[in-house]
A and B are shown apart, each in its own frame.
Chain A
């Protein structure tokens, strides 16, 4: 295998002289982490709620007071008073307000006579996040309206106490496992796949093929050098990302060691997959075209940005064979739950078997001649 080390040495010497490659493969995942983490992780605020009070009675005033309390407290809502329901609806359709809360003329009478009083929330459901937040907020203060003014001394209704095992996980921390995996993938594609095909197109591989190097040595050389490069990228994002996302005890040495193991096996599985896909490719455009496709097919079904439980069945099948899924799960276990090897053993085993199968297939498919 000494010839494989010559390939590794050559690849790493080249890598050292390509600082732009190193920077570019790390900037994208870091930017993604910061931008997506803060864009998706915040609470929705300042939604414009039109209130059309057609009643004006005391119960209606109470609803408006409760809405005003939410507006001045959590600032989820900004209230806008309307006297005309038609104008409010026109403004809703034109996007000037996000919802219209209508208090009908008989609300107070029904409320005082316990005759099922109702208010109506009409919301712009083209944005489900906004409409769900608005419905939840309005429901909460309508429920408050129904609460007895004097607390019941002995509560008869069943209650629910929610206990969270782990500290609050902001969305940026939830995204971090996917960003680490993405940084490994970026380096695999840019520093592995694209360079491999470019070298092949330039004829550099012809130089290797006239030497006595074996197929296995060549494939192992490319895979190990690609793994080393990807581990460097993954390790940097692992540390920087943990600091940026505010992961508790980001430099805990035991966790860092466990993380490094997952980074390494993830890098090896992704470089093996890449090499399997590229082993017969000669067109330099192919890896560039595949980059976007693989990014979508591997990253999004992995549960990095959205829980897999919400996927349709066909996407769950993709997720089940996607190495990203296992890498993201292992990183989540270590970063967000600080678990031991027991929780990630299945992930590591899958990635190891995946790497072995992909590398064996790539070696078999590799052509020793032109």
Chain B
């Protein structure tokens, strides 16, 4: 078995005539925190959705924990945790009930459920809120519920699709801190997409920049900064790296109408 938790080879996703992901290949090593950067409509979410079995690739393959996403989808699902972009916790249920239902959906044995849920609630600092309905919690706390929910079956690979989008700076910092702490306590590989360059810079071991469905750069934050010609790597930021590889500023890109969003949103 290879050292890679994720291996993506020439993966393509088309919606009709539109190519959302265009022959992207990369690998994520076991235990790595891997960041996917790119504006809305770049293809990040589509790429993640193929890796977590929510979308069938049009071409190419993705192997997660040694399981092919097309042929061994259930094995992939058992070995991964997923936090989708939207807040998908059940607002009517309590924090603990949300975790309990997902533990059952993943087939976690009865005797380990309670221990796992207690440990996770401690890890995301929600122990005192365990009996509260999720609708009573703040946005940052709901995100932490989802992080705990995604880990309730002890996955080996954790996919997070823009987990801090829409959160205030304090909640964002708390979520990232929590992820780092959980990562340090578990044998976990993390693949995360984000818009926040500074956070990706601090947290990710390696970063892939995706634009218009293509992989335009992939390396460690330091190496990406060093790849900018004629600049002192210490003064270069990931924003500069993004401009260099995509030819535009991330904020501009975020405000562009997204061709990729439309076909995807229609399909949802």
- A105 CA / B215 CA spacing, docked (Å): 104
Selected A-B contacts with CB under 8 Å, 24 pairs:
A2-B107, A5-B104, A6-B101, A9-B101, A10-B97, A13-B93, A13-B97, A17-B92, A202-B88, A203-B85, A203-B268, A204-B88, A204-B90, A206-B84, A206-B86, A207-B82, A210-B54, A212-B74, A212-B105, A213-B105, A369-B54, A369-B56, A370-B54, A370-B55
Total of A-B residue pairs, C-beta within 8 Å = 77
Q: How far is the CB of A47 from chain B (nearest CB, A)?
A: 55
Interface bits A178-218 vs B (CB < 8 Å: 1, else 0): 00000000000000000000000111101111111100000
- A18 interface residue (CB < 8 Å to B): yes
CB A19 to nearest CB in B, in angstroms, measures 12
Interface string of A133-175 (1 = CB under 8 A from B): 0000000000000000000000000000000000000000000
Cβ distance A165 to chain B, nearest Cβ, rounded Å = 50
Closest 7 A/B residue pairs (Cβ): A203-B86, A6-B104, A210-B82, A211-B105, A207-B88, A14-B92, A212-B77
1/0 contact string of A1-30 vs chain B (CB within 8 Å): 011011101100110011000000000000
With A13-B97, A206-B84, A370-B268 already in contact, the answer to whether A212 and B102 are too (CB < 8 A) is no
CB distance from B12 to the nearest CB of A (A): 16
**A207 lies within 8 A of B102 (CB):** yes
Q: Which of A3, A6, A282 has the most CB of B within 10 A?
A: A6
B244 at the interface (CB under 8 A from A): no
Interface range for B: 20 to 34
A14: chain B residues at CB < 8 Å are 90, 92-93
**Does B78 have its Cβ within 8 Å of any Cβ on chain A?**
yes
How many Å from the CB of A233 to the closest CB on chain B?
Answer: 19
Q: Which residues of A contact B267 (CB under 8 A)?
A: 370
Known: A6-B101, A282-B268. A211 touches B106 (CB 8 A): yes
CB distance from A132 to the nearest CB of B (A): 53
- B-binding residues in A (CB < 8 A): 2-3, 5-7, 9-10, 13-14, 17-18, 201-204, 206-213, 282, 368-370
Are B88 and A206 interface neighbours, CB within 8 A?
yes
A212 in contact with B84 given A13-B92, A14-B92 (CB within 8 Å)? no
Cα of A30 to Cα of B104 in the assembled complex, Å: 38
Residues on A with beta carbons closer than 8 Å to the beta carbon of B73:
368
Interface residues of B (CB under 8 A from A): 49, 52-56, 73-74, 77-78, 80, 82, 84-88, 90, 92-93, 97, 101-102, 104-107, 133, 149, 267-268
**Complexed CA–CA distance, A79 and B217 (Å):** 96
CA of A168 to CA of B53, assembled, Å: 63
Q: Do A211 and B49 touch across chains, with their CB atoms under 8 A apart? A: no
Nearest to B101 among chain A residues (CB) is A10
A206/B54 in contact, CB under 8 A: yes
- With A18-B92, A204-B88 known as contacts, the answer to whether A210 contacts B104 (CB < 8 A) is no
Q: Which of B77, B85, B101 contacts A210 (CB 8 A)?
A: B77
Beyond A13-B93, A206-B54, A213-B105, list 8 extra A-B contacts (CB 8 Å): A6-B101, A17-B133, A202-B88, A206-B84, A212-B106, A370-B49, A370-B54, A370-B267
CB atoms of B77 and A211 under 8 A apart: yes
Complex alpha-carbon distance, A201 and B267, angstroms:
11
Name, among B55, B85, B106, B149, the residue most crowded by chain A CB atoms within 10 Å (CB to CB).
B106
Specify which chain B residues have a CB less than 8 angstroms from the CB of A213 in the assembled complex: 105
In the bound complex, how far is the Cα of B52 from the Cα of A104, in angstroms? 91
- Contacting pair A212 B88 (CB below 8 A): no
| Residues on the A chain within 8 Å of B102, using CB | 207, 211
Contact partners of B55 in chain A: CB under 8 A: 369-370
Shortest CB–CB separation between residue B121 and chain A, in angstroms?
A: 18
Chain A, Cβ-Cβ closest to B92: A14
Q: State whether B92 touches A207 (Cβ < 8 A).
A: no
Closest to A199 in B: B90
Contacting residue for B105 out of A3, A13, A204, A206, CB 8 A: A3
- Are B105 and A6 in touch, CB under 8 angstroms? yes
Most buried by B among A203, A211, A282: A211
Nearest-Cβ distance from residue A13 to partner chain B, whole angstroms? 6
* A47 to B136 alpha-carbon distance, docked (Å): 61
CA of A3 to CA of B74 in the docked complex: distance in angstroms?
Answer: 13
Q: Are B105 and A208 in contact (CB under 8 A)?
A: yes
Question: What residue of chain A has the Cβ atom nearest to residue B73's Cβ?
Answer: A368
Residues of chain B with a CB closer than 8 A to A211's CB: 77, 102, 105-106
Which A residues are in CB contact (< 8 Å) with B87?
Answer: 203
Question: Are the CB atoms of B53 and A210 closer together than 8 Å?
Answer: yes
Q: Closest approach, in angstroms, between the C-beta of B161 and any C-beta of chain A?
A: 10
Give every chain A residue within 8 A of B88 (Cβ-Cβ).
202-204, 206-207
Pairwise interchain contact A207-B84, C-beta atoms closer than 8 A: yes
